Amino acid sequence: MSDNTLRTSRRRKAILAGVAGFALLLGGSTYALWTSSANLAGGEITAGDLSIAPGTFAAYDISADRVDSTGGTEIVPGGVKGHTIDLGTGATDWKIVPGDEAALVFPYTITLVGDNLIAELKTSANALITANANNDMTFEYAVYDANGAAIVAPQALPASDTTALATFASNDADKGGGLADTVDGVVGADGTMQVTVVLYATFAQTATVDTSSSTSYVNAVTDLSGNMTATLTQVRVDPATGGSQFTPAPTTP
């Protein structure tokens, strides 16, 4: 074979190889497509908190015609005065008579943490009273803060346990320029608030009744010794169905 023949053969092989490579490029299997990446830190979403914890129950005789109604012990700072009583059926326990008034004091610590957190405070007081109190006992309630200021002034106990006694907001509710909601109290910067629910119980029998009568209630017990459950429940009203932002204005009993 001559040198010219060899050179021609090599040129053909080189051309064929180039054509094959070009065909692979056309097929796309060798394209290096562009890509780019960058890091950007996000944030951690953390949950808030909602809780209620009871303090120590106390009871007071605050009958208005007693001397200690002005010089006795305050049931809450700046509140009405009286003297401490023990409730029960024992011989040394306090015995109510017509015209007497007692204050039953239930302290709680509520915790609310969350930018959009509003909660209603409800109790089972009405159900407890309805089941165990005589017909001549009347009850009002009030809610006080740690300084004795009335968050909710004394008023008739709601007829239903589903009616809120008071409505509270977290300290950071509506952060970011949202419109404020109508509530009875706002918790402190630490997310907590000391509140005291007081039931004012009055033996309101006014007519003169023979103590031997079944309606005199002599030795009858107004039994409120069962657990009065306090419930703190988040509320959030859908604007499409009514209500301003998270809750309507507190319900007046």
- 123: which strand partners? 230
- Residue 136: band (very low, low, confident or very high) from pLDDT cuts 50, 70, 90: confident
Residue 253, pLDDT score: 44
Average pLDDT estimate for 110-130 = 89
- 89: which strand partners? none
Question: Strands 166-169, 185-186: parallel, antiparallel or unpaired by DSSP?
Answer: parallel
pTM of the entire predicted model: 0.77
pLDDT in tens, 190-241: 999 999 999 999 998 888 888 888 888 887 778 888 788 999 999 876 555 5
pLDDT in tens, 10-34: 555 555 555 555 555 555 566 788 9
Distance, in Å, from the CA atom of 16 to the CA atom of 145, rounded to the nearest integer, reads: 94
pLDDT in tens, 62-98: 999 999 988 899 999 888 999 999 988 788 889 999 9
pLDDT in tens, 41-57: 988 888 889 999 999 99
